[in-house]
Amino acid sequence: MDALGDLANGFATALTPVNLFWAFLGVLMGTAIGVLPGIGPAMTVALLLPITYGLDPTAAFIMFAGIYYGGMYGGSTTSILLNTPGESAAVVTAIEGNKMARRGLAAQALATAAIGSFVAGTIGTLLVVLLSPLIVDLAVQLGAPDYFAVMVLAFIAVTTVLGASRVRGFASLLLGLTLGLVGIDQVSGQQRLTFGVGQLADGIDVVVVAVGLFALGEALWIAAHLRHATAQVIPTGPARMGREEFARSWKPWLRGTGIGFPFGAVPAGGAEVPTFLSYVTEKKLSKHPEEFGHGAIEGVAGPEATNNASAAGGFVPLLTLGLPVTATAAVMLAAFQQYGIQPGPLLLENEPELVWALLASLFIGNTMLLVLNLPLAPIWAKLLTIPRPLLYAGILFFASLGAYAVNGTIVDLLVLFVIGLLGFMMRRYGLPVVPAVIGVILGPRAEVQLRRALQISDGQISGLFNTWFSITIYVIVALVLLWPLINRFIIRRFRRRPEHEVHVGHAHPLAELAEEIAEEPTGEPTGPSSEQRKPRSIR
């Protein structure tokens, strides 16, 4: 109950009029930017980082809480009202959500997404509040080898779970680690990979990397392939739902929360797998399985709640271990570092006011989102029709502004340009961007822990796995490495058509699979009879 008392103090900080204003501004800007097509939650947070430079840390993080959930919610609005999904975690939402919207149920789809996000976000944040102090108690006992092991796990999870190709995931991670090496070595004070450029001695600013990979790389990539046909936005009134929709939604919300939170709280590589699991679960349990693939409300409610619960769960490793497991969390970590604050087990002790105000703001931001988004849905829908040249010009404008504002030097703009080109290349050749961002941020810290552990053991390599905790983590690492094999086996079992047309617009093979499951004829879900119905004889 101690945690709840601290939380009450957090509310006392966050509920002052000034801080409420920052939270409101964060929610509003986060949603508005997040709704814009082509801008995912991570880019939203990265682009809005500079706005907080002039604020004190507490106000800045209160604002961030709003931006964080606002950006998430904005993304799902985009995928429901536009015909193609943007960021990968919203892909599953888009399958049923967009079909609902086309059936004239846009308001209901947006409502179940908004209320589901609120329910999941609130429960998830409450779990963060209750769990974090317990995990901190555990985390303070961890030593250098344990931290190094956890970071290795984060690296492996983010490279193997995301994207279709593991070798490309590793390539991306290594590119990130390379960028992280640039600058003065924290232990010996020697310059590495600076090539004599003085301004690189401090290392490449994480904000510049995040803006370069997410904003500039994305804008350049889209510019090279800009769709000239105008996107079809489905018109909508204020989001609302009736009794029947509510009755069909509340269980998927709760189940989605249950599925999403644990996946977010352990370094498991983002929200894609849990949203997919939620979708499959809802289809199995639904009383209307025949509606799946044609706009079933459960297929929006479940994955949307999952997505938000997983985002909330991500705060547990971020606040207690300083470990970001998603791109958005990685950018949040960059924001912490901007203020010289190191997230980790000591954060709660050193900055209790900030942490509890942040957590309280997550509740406040979540509530504001609900209040704002139900009536404002038609306005958000209008944002989707913004002329694309202005939208992407705006992204380049704010990316340049943000990168320059970090240190006030044009070297950062040149670095931004190079990293933007790197981001372009990665998108062109299917290298996922998230592992690179995680690599940049965690790489230097993993190196410090590695060297500290080896210093303690006097160079003995066994010093890296001499605790039960690190051994456990390495066992999990081994399992994660084997997981894609198991996963692939499951996908093969599910897959009906061995070769199928490429679905443009799907960032993840799981999304394709989900779509296939959606189209699957209903009836008894498995068993020999469904086996016989398979149209396998095509080949």
Partner 1 sequence: MQGRSELGVALFLLALGVLIVIEALRLPANPGQRGPVGPAAVPIVVGALLVVTSAFLAKDVLAGGRGEPEAGEDVDLSRGSDWRTVLLLAAAFLANVVLIERIGWPISGAILFFGCAFALGSRHIVRDIIIAFALSIGTWYLFDVGLGVDLPVGLLRGIL
Residues 6+ apart with CB under 8 A from 4: 129
Between 192 and 288, name the residue whose CB sits nearer to partner 1: 192
The window from 197-205, 228-236, 321-329, 528-536 that contacts partner 1 (CB under 8 A) reads: 228-236
What is the spatial distance between Cα 473 and Cα 388, in angstroms, rounded to a whole number?
Answer: 46
State how far the alpha carbon of 395 is from the alpha carbons of 63, 377, 476, in Å.
Answer: 20, 23, 40
**Cα atoms in the Cβ-side hemisphere of radius 13 Å centred on 529:** 5
What is the spatial distance between Cα 348 and Cα 298, in angstroms, rounded to a whole number?
Answer: 38
User: Would you give the distance in Å from CA 35 to the centre of its chain?
Assistant: 15
Largest CA distance in the chain: 70
Supply 162's token pair: 């995301």
Residue from 15, 193, 379, 418 touching partner 1 (CB under 8 A): that is: 193
374 to 393, contacts with partner 1 by CB under 8 A?
387-390, 392-393
The window from 27-35, 52-60, 120-128, 327-335 that contacts partner 1 (CB under 8 A) reads: 52-60
Residues 6+ apart with CB under 8 A from 236: 81, 101, 106, 107, 110, 377, 378, 381
What is the spatial distance between Cα 252 and Cα 271, in angstroms, rounded to a whole number?
Answer: 16
For the CB of residue 105, give the shortest distance to partner 1 in the complex, in Å. Answer: 21
Between 24 and 417, name the residue whose CB sits nearer to partner 1: 417
∠ CA 503-504-506, nearest 5°, is 80
User: Would you give the distance in Å from CA 248 to the centre of its chain?
Assistant: 27
The window from 224-232, 353-361, 471-479, 485-493 that contacts partner 1 (CB under 8 A) reads: 224-232
The conformational region for residue 508 under phi > 0 = left, psi -120 to 50 = alpha, else beta, is: beta
Residue from 78, 112, 236, 249 touching partner 1 (CB under 8 A): that is: 78
What is the spatial distance between Cα 158 and Cα 272, in angstroms, rounded to a whole number?
Answer: 11
What is the spatial distance between Cα 447 and Cα 203, in angstroms, rounded to a whole number?
Answer: 14
Between 387 and 535, name the residue whose CB sits nearer to partner 1: 387
Between 240 and 451, name the residue whose CB sits nearer to partner 1: 451
For the CB of residue 455, give the shortest distance to partner 1 in the complex, in Å. Answer: 4
Per-residue binding string, partner 1, 457-496, x by CB under 8 A, is -xx-------------------------------------
Between 24 and 404, name the residue whose CB sits nearer to partner 1: 404
For the CB of residue 49, give the shortest distance to partner 1 in the complex, in Å. Answer: 11
Report which of 207, 149, 22 is spatially closest to residue 466, judged by C-alpha positions: 149
User: Mind spelling out the 3-state secondary structure of 145-207?
Assistant: HHHHHHHHHHHHHHHHHCCCCHHHHHHHHHHHHHHHHCEECCCCCCEECCCCCHHHCCCCCHH
426 to 455, contacts with partner 1 by CB under 8 A?
427-431, 447, 450-452, 454-455
For the CB of residue 39, give the shortest distance to partner 1 in the complex, in Å. Answer: 9
∠ CA 281-286-287, nearest 5°, is 165
Between strands 183-184 and 191-192, the pairing is antiparallel
The site that binds partner 1 (CB under 8 A) totals a number of residues, namely: 81
79 to 108, contacts with partner 1 by CB under 8 A?
82, 84-86
Between 356 and 424, name the residue whose CB sits nearer to partner 1: 424
∠ CA 453-438-253, nearest 5°, is 115
Per-residue binding string, partner 1, 160-189, x by CB under 8 A, is ----xx-xx-xx--xx-xx--x---x-xx-
For the CB of residue 440, give the shortest distance to partner 1 in the complex, in Å. Answer: 12
Residue from 20, 425, 471, 491 touching partner 1 (CB under 8 A): that is: 425
Residue from 80, 107, 222, 241 touching partner 1 (CB under 8 A): that is: 222
For the CB of residue 507, give the shortest distance to partner 1 in the complex, in Å. Answer: 6
Exposure string over 426-436, b if 16+ CB within 10 A, otherwise e: bbeeebbbbbb
The window from 51-59, 118-126, 237-245, 334-342 that contacts partner 1 (CB under 8 A) reads: 51-59
493 to 512, contacts with partner 1 by CB under 8 A?
504-507
Between 180 and 365, name the residue whose CB sits nearer to partner 1: 180
Q: Which residue has the tokens 């769990």?
A: 131
Between 302 and 435, name the residue whose CB sits nearer to partner 1: 435
Between 129 and 416, name the residue whose CB sits nearer to partner 1: 416
Q: Does 192 bind partner 1 (CB under 8 A)?
A: yes
What is the spatial distance between Cα 539 and Cα 537, in angstroms, rounded to a whole number?
Answer: 5
288 to 327, contacts with partner 1 by CB under 8 A?
none
Between 224 and 247, name the residue whose CB sits nearer to partner 1: 224
Q: Does 38 bind partner 1 (CB under 8 A)?
A: yes
8 to 37, contacts with partner 1 by CB under 8 A?
37
What is the spatial distance between Cα 332 and Cα 458, in angstroms, rounded to a whole number?
Answer: 35
Q: Does 54 bind partner 1 (CB under 8 A)?
A: yes
333 to 352, contacts with partner 1 by CB under 8 A?
none
